[in-house]
């Protein structure tokens, strides 16, 4: 997956969040989206993935040599973010079966295998609403990392994880990010150490725009 932004800008009401962002996110690359709280990292992720409309500029997408319409992006996208919820009324097993009907897992992975990878075997019949915040985060990460989707967005991926959880994140990021376009929004270096590219939203016009 490749995303090309040309002169991209996003404004909420009268406030420009970023402006004049021209950048190519190349296939197989991992980019850390950096910037202080409120600088526009999540807004940029949501704009790049077509979930928010840009105010100005253009975005184009390509995958496997083919131009992709923005309407096709949801099928190609795996997304983990603190503001995205999982269905609390389902058990873990029910949720995985429901989720993977819409967002299949990577080849060779099953719901049972994913439960093992998350070390959540004892909680397979527990309601998601009864999960701890760290268990929920591990679940959200696993669903994104192990989805068969070429575009992976991780917004503050170690939110609520303890030391063991952060180590788990590193292990599974290494195992699942090759050949995907990965964007990580973060202020925590150990969340994005694996990214070879860095993009600071405030360098791409946000300061000028304010
Ligand atoms: N739907 C919205 N309507 C109006 N303003 C918004 C909306 N969403 C975000 N903003 C504003 O856009 C700015 C950037 O917010 P954003 O969440 O993208 O920042 P961030 O860099 O991800 O922050 P953090 O590190 O705290 O998560 C903030 O000033 C925020 O109030």
How do residues 37-84 score in pLDDT, each as one tens digit? 999 999 999 999 999 999 999 999 999 999 999 999 999 999 999 999
Q: Provide the token pair at 79.
A: 């997304």
Residue 41 burial class via C-beta count within 10 angstroms: exposed 0-12, middle 13-18, buried 19 and up: buried
Pick the closest to residue 176 from 76, 71, 122, 106 (CA basis): 106
Q: Whose CA is nearest to atom 18 of ligand 1?
A: 40
* Alpha helices (H) along the chain: 41-48, 73-76, 92-102, 111-117, 133-145, 163-176, 189-192, 206-209
In sequence order, the β-bridge partners of residue 56 are 9
C-alpha distances in Å from residue 201, one per residue of 58, 114, 117, 119: 17, 34, 34, 36
Determine whether the shortest distance from the Cβ of 17 to ligand 1 is under 6 A. Answer: yes
Domains of the chain: 2-209 (3.40.50.300)
Residues of the chain with pLDDT under 70: 204-210
Give the pLDDT confidence score for residue 182 in this predicted structure. 98
Determine whether the shortest distance from the Cβ of 10 to ligand 1 is under 6 A. Answer: no
Give the pLDDT confidence score for residue 203 in this predicted structure. 82
Q: Provide the token pair at 52.
A: 């928010």
Give the pLDDT confidence score for residue 187 in this predicted structure. 92
In sequence order, the β-bridge partners of residue 91 are 127
Distance 206 CA to ligand 1 centre (A): 12
Residue 176's contacts (CB-CB under 8 Å, 6 or more residues apart) are 106, 145, 146, 152
C-alpha angle 102-107-109 in degrees, rounded to nearest 5: 80
Distance 68 CA to ligand 1 centre (A): 27
Determine whether the shortest distance from the Cβ of 107 to ligand 1 is under 6 A. Answer: no
Cα–Cα distance for residue pair 199/32, rounded to 1 Å: 6
Question: What is the phi-psi region of residue 116: left when phi exceeds 0, alpha when psi lies from -120 to 50, beta otherwise?
Answer: alpha
Determine whether the shortest distance from the Cβ of 119 to ligand 1 is under 6 A. Answer: no
Whole-model pTM over 0.90: yes
Q: Whose CA is nearest to atom 1 of ligand 1?
A: 12
Determine whether the shortest distance from the Cβ of 48 to ligand 1 is under 6 A. Answer: no
Distance 84 CA to ligand 1 centre (A): 15
Q: Whose CA is nearest to atom 16 of ligand 1?
A: 40
Distance 184 CA to ligand 1 centre (A): 16
Q: Whose CA is nearest to atom 24 of ligand 1?
A: 37
């Amino acid at each position: 997956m490749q995303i090309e932004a040309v002169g991209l800008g996003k404004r909420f009401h009268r406030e420009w969040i970023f402006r004049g962002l021209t950048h190519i996110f190349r296939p197989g690359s991992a980019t850390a989206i950096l910037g202080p709280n409120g600088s526009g990292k999540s807004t940029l992720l949501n704009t790049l993935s077509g979930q928010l409309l840009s105010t100005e500029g253009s975005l184009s997408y390509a995958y496997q040599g083919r131009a992709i319409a923005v309407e096709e992006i949801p099928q190609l996208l795996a997304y983990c973010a603190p503001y995205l919820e999982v269905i609390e009324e389902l058990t873990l097993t029910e949720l995985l079966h429901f989720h993977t009907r819409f967002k299949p897992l990577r080849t060779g992975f099953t719901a049972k295998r994913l439960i093992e990878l998350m070390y959540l075997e004892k909680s397979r019949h527990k309601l998601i609403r009864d999960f701890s915040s760290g268990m929920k985060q591990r679940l959200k990460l696993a669903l994104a990392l192990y989805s068969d989707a070429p575009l992976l967005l991780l917004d503050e991926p170690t939110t609520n994880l303890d030391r063991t959880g952060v180590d788990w994140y590193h292990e599974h990021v290494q195992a699942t990010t090759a050949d995907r376009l990965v964007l990580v929004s973060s202020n925590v270096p150990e969340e994005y150490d694996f990214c070879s590219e860095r993009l600071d939203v405030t360098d791409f016009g946000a300061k000028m725009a304010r």
